[in-house]
Chain A
């Protein structure tokens, strides 16, 4: 028989080049990127070979592609599709500790844990993200003011790197590498597995209260009054409502009740024509939405799924924005700086762009262990804007100046276009990440913001 080759053949391990896999894009579908080679990983024991065979700065782990900009892209280079690493490796239903592979999605995990009385400690606005991605972007949720980011609840990870055997990192060992990996944008290695502390719940229901506000000072009052007694708070803002920024404030808590939920899954079949989300249609939607919600204030018992993941029931909703895609702009501004929020909203409103989704939330004081974590005490505003070329980019550049002047920062997971100067201003300690970056890993985002 032939002997087993000691040096694995690169084409066997990583697959052949030149497979134009157009489905590997980011959620905003801007910028578009063509990758050279996409390798799907099925078992953790394949990670080591894949990393070792790769060229320097050629690879990036890829999960569900829910980052909006280019932090999950690696233009002209290679990706490691890790979504098949979706197994639950260990669990303890007494203590709520669970160890999972990095490619499992939060939705898949919830399907297993909720019936056993456990919930995610922190969840973003979509359940279609992987645990690895949640750590790499150090995502936050509606309970940031209480419990901090996702990274605050990671007890241990096993990191696969090209220059070492699988490294176990925890608050006790290799702490610096753990801190670099939380919010490290997938550059410090592939998260093979992670152990997370779940949160006890008594049922699948959330008691949610809906209140309307007529201006941002009212928002601040509501937010301050709710932070102590409500685990989840968030506000939807009508960006197009003119001088007074009205909106709807949501606050909720888990309750020991169980409600049934029939998931309706609709799918956007193709990229819609661009007039679908234009100024008049969105203006009409916003007015109707505000009127409906403001007319029926009060409490309701809802299943966790529609509360946390309202957009997940519409698959591919990103295609609503049309062929050119969209950008999401998420910034954080100093605590209580409503004036800055007002100016940004006014700038968006006056630009004539159709801003459909605008979300405002007050971050809390809980410090994340992550080196490049985005959340920090203050107000975070998120706006979705259809990508309409240079005029959209010019608007965003003007918003950058406002954020910069207030000492704010932009969220890398949402960004597709910030300048190196802007990144440097928001994350002045980014150079501390550099020594931890795996020599084989890189991303479009990283090359862009560290250029020059």
Chain B
């Protein structure tokens, strides 16, 4: 069982991972928190320190535009990190994304393009280290395009496929790539959406991710676990039927 020690978190103020960060803090882990708002980062930092985290460093930046800056900060101020957790994302209104190209591109840019840029840059570190874990939160929405959420789904699905290939490449170096596919979780991101089916508690999601991070054999996890079977069933529906389904 490999214990985590030094973790870089890209999107450290994401609602879904707050309980996870607390769990990791209680184990005395050291963390580099990266997010857009220094005020929010400060609140998360002090909370994690009070709950037992070792060192906690923060770095304020817009992750969608400066992969090299983030990477060099991590290398300089938080060298020898062994885990990367990419957890940021946005969910823009599908009804706007499907008619407004700018919105659609923005959604893909944030959830896919910028993540690809960061992962490509950070891969270097793990390649030379010959160990470690790269964990990325994608979504069950990426498993099949649905009319209610396909722009977001395309970005997350693209990211899942990118990770699939990266996993294969990084396995040559002994580096693990973990794809985390959560179902809907009740967080700030989903707070304003109506019809969030079966929204899960972030505590439950935290338990699953924590377990997967500790258990070095898992590659792709669904959380809550029932989503593996729900998505398997959805994927089995023939396209000519699926396209008429109002989901």
A→B interface (CB under 8 Å): 1-2, 11-12, 15-16, 19, 39-40, 42-45, 84, 87-91, 98, 101, 112
Whether B192 pairs with A12 at a CB distance below 8 angstroms is: yes
Cross-interface CB contact of A87 among B15, B37, B46, B194, cutoff 8 Å: B46
- Min CB distance B194 to A, Å, is 6
Given A2-B102, A16-B194, A40-B188, output 20 extra A-B contacts at Cβ < 8 Å. A39-B191, A42-B15, A42-B187, A42-B191, A43-B39, A43-B43, A45-B37, A84-B15, A84-B188, A87-B43, A88-B46, A88-B47, A88-B50, A88-B51, A89-B47, A90-B46, A91-B50, A98-B50, A101-B43, A112-B51
Q: How many positions in chain B have a CB within 8 Å of any CB in the partner chain?
A: 17
For residue B44, CB closer than 8 A to chain A, the reply is yes
- Report chain A residues within 8 Å CB of B40: 43, 45
Residue on B nearest A104 in the bound complex, by CB: B47
A43–B37 alpha-carbon span in the complex (Å): 11
Q: Which residue of B lies closest to A42 (CB)?
A: B188
Cβ–Cβ < 8 Å partners of B50 in chain A: 88, 91, 98, 112
Complex Cα spacing A39 to B188, Å: 10
B47 near A15: Cβ-Cβ < 8 Å: no
Give complex CA distance A381, B192 in Å. Answer: 44
In the bound complex, how far is the Cα of B50 from the Cα of A205, in angstroms?
Answer: 23
CB-defined contacts of A11 to chain B, threshold 8 Å: 192
Taken residue by residue from 185 to 223, chain B's Cβ proximity to chain A (1 for < 8 Å, 0 otherwise) reads as 001100110100000000000000000000000000000
Cβ contacts under 8 Å, A45 to chain B: 37, 39-40
A19 / chain B contacts, CB cutoff of 8 Å: 194
List B contacts of A88 (CB < 8 A). Answer: 46-47, 50-51
Q: Are B46 and A89 in contact (CB under 8 A)?
A: yes
Contact (Cβ within 8 A) A87 B44: yes
On whether A40 and B51 interact (CB within 8 A), knowing A45-B39, A87-B44, the answer reads no
The verdict on A15 contacting B191 (CB below 8 Å), with A112-B50, A112-B51 known, is: yes
Q: Known: A87-B47, A89-B43. Is A16-B37 also a contact (CB below 8 A)?
A: no
Which residues of the partner chain A approach B15 to less than 8 Å between Cβ atoms?
42, 84
Closest Cβ neighbor of A38 among chain B residues: B191
Give Cα A12 to B15, complex, Å: 17
Distance to closest chain B CB from A374 (angstroms)? 31
A437 CB to nearest B CB, Å: 27
